[in-house]
Homo-oligomer: A and B are copies of this chain.
Amino acid sequence: MPASSGHIVIEAVQPELDGGRFRAKAVAGDQVEVTADIFRDGTAELAAVVRYESPSGEVAESSMTLFDNDRWAGSFQPPRIGRWRYTIEAWTDHFATWLRDLTKKADAGQVTELDLEEGALLIEGRIPAVPEPDGAVLKRTVALIRSTPLGPGNSPQVAAALSPEVMEIMSRHSDRSGSATHRTLELTVDRERARYGAWYEFFPRSTGAKGQHGTFRTAAEHLAMVAAMGFDVVYLPPIHPIGETHRKGKNNALTTEPDDVGSPWAIGNRFGGHRSVDPNLGTLDDFDAFVEAAARLGLEIALDFAIQCSPDHPWVTQHPEWFHHRPDGSIMHAENPPKKYEDIYPINFDTADREGLWHELKGVVDFWISHGITIFRVDNPHTKSFAFWEWLIDAVQGERPDVIFLSEAFTRPKVMYRLAKLGFTQSYTYFTWRNEKQELTDYLVELTQTGLVDYFRPNFFTNTQDILTEFLQLGGPPAFKIRLVLAALLSPSYGIYSGFEFCENVPLREGSEEYLHSEKYQLRHRNWAREEGTLIPYVRKINQIRRDHSALGLLANLRFHESHNDKVLAFSKTAPGHDPILGLVSLDPSNEQEASISLDIPPWDLEAPPSYRLHELISGTTHEWRPQDNRVLLDPSIEPALIFTVEG
């Protein structure tokens, strides 16, 4: 026989990942809504609370309310980052049950003294637990119920029992005996940058004068330009010493010329490994100065964390046991048959010296944290150990909950989502290849309207050093505008890789997504000073719109709308207390497209005035729209996108 009668069920709790195995995610200041199916056998009334605990152990509660079909909702607002805990407690509310039945009996003129005495006993039973002056109120109520003779309509006693004051006191001091408490769940509460930010990737070595290797100092000079474009985060490819053995030449050539700089992802040489900087970029002090210069401009630096080594990395000789070995004793290089990556040795996470390896890798992260870095873009995490990531992120964020990990896992969806469950703060996505209306809609609905919102945060990159999509190769500047607006408006976090603002679009060869003269293997000089003919002003405008309209900083508030044209995406982002945003984006970089939009968009549909004044934020124009069927023409050679807000 079970130890208790277990009347109450709490199930289908949200957010709850895999039965509490993983933490859900939120941002400090969010109103975290907790919902659950809560019910019991029989017909008694229930009461329920969300109980939550701050990282420093303060516990508080907020009440839940039934909204539909045994589903209850409550919420709490964690003001600070760190690991919060929460659960649900539900109990039978005997007083509310008695009140409910008493009301029905009173309506039928059926109340007896016995009915009232049952209520008096319920109230009396709580008096010992209720401090003054509320206790006195309950005492008076009990006395009133018992002293007044039962009259026609039972009004005095019923009124006493039903008084709002008594109900409130009894609710606040409800008898929770026999309550059910759900398992304790955890929530990672991050800073806002975990969800929202505009990212810009560039290679510091490309910031030198023409023909010269850039340094942290020349890169620091470039930061003002990046800040002026409105970016929040600067992501740098690996800054460590670059291997010489099997170094790749320009355009990934197997042989090198003397001046070839190699791929920064072939990490380590005689000057050091993951805790060192490439001497060509400068010193650690130069790096520190670069980070400080960024901070003065309101920019954060994100470093690449690529757990792999060139054959020249110090670990290869110091810790050969950290690598995979072949039958002849040689160290295995990376491969994806028939491709070989002889300049890179992968790490063996199952090494007998797991203790030493894993702690050294955490040491690398801690080292860069000590140099002011709190964002890491993790290279190909899906090819490393799941268990390692869970351990690492848990350990790092246990000490520094402000640290952000971006997963660069372009792999199968369930693997990407698993990495997010394991702790990655945000993730690269398939957005980069989603160009059609249906596939964009399907993917965004998956990312914003399913359980993924509790733990998977997208970062929409238009391009990367590895990915120049066919859409960008073929569509010209309108294609770049389209992809920029989609990335920047559909996802709170988005990014571009430098060159995008110059509409660089020449692939290594037809059918390839690699850049010709890729910066992965050579320096690339750009003239950022001249804005004419570039997208720099456009990028600046879009980032300004993001900053001016905080609804764009949220994820789950995206909704799509009918545009009556398969080439025009219509969507809105609204939230209480935020300016509503309506986006219309043509997906066709080559032809004019017409669309017809109705403003059946909360909160605009609430009052339904005869017309609305809309501001278009790119052009700064104002428009008078009807609630229904507003026709718009999108000419990609002028503006492929319109971004509206409504006059408030």
A contact residues vs B (CB 8 Å cutoff): 1-2, 4-7, 9, 11, 18-19, 37, 39-43, 69-70, 101, 104-105, 107-108, 110, 114, 117-118, 121, 326-328, 330, 335-338, 349-350, 354-355, 358, 382-388, 390-391, 412-415, 418
Contacts and interface: CB of A to CB of B under 8 A. Distances in A.
A390 B6 CA distance: 10
Most buried by B among A358, A385, A412: A385
Given A2-B387, A5-B387, A338-B105, A414 B70 contact: yes
Given A39-B418, A41-B415, A354 B385 contact: no
Given A6-B386, A9-B418, A69-B412, 8 more contacts: A5-B354, A5-B387, A7-B386, A7-B387, A41-B385, A43-B336, A43-B383, A70-B415
Nearest to A121: B327
Contacts of A40: 386
A386 B327 contact: no
Contacts of A117: 327-328
A6 B327 contact: no
Contacts of A2: 387, 390-391
Copies of this protein, total: 2
A371 B39 CA distance: 37
A440 to B, nearest CB: 20
Contacts of A386: 6-7, 9, 40-41
Most buried by B among A18, A70, A114, A337: A337
A386 B110 CA distance: 31
A125 B118 CA distance: 77
Given A41-B383, A412-B70, A337 B391 contact: no
Main secondary structure of the interface of A (DSSP, over half): mixed
A6 B338 contact: no
A40 B350 CA distance: 14
Given A5-B349, A114-B326, A107 B387 contact: no
Contacts of A391: 1-2
Contact of A385 (B7, B18, B384, B390): B7
Contacts of A7: 385-387
A6 B41 contact: no
Nearest to A384: B41
A413 B328 CA distance: 65
A19 B328 CA distance: 47
Given A19-B19, A386-B6, A337 B110 contact: yes
A105 B327 contact: no
The 9 A-B residue pairs with the shortest CB-CB distance in the complex, in nearest-first order: A108-B338, A6-B387, A104-B337, A19-B19, A101-B337, A117-B327, A70-B414, A41-B386, A2-B387
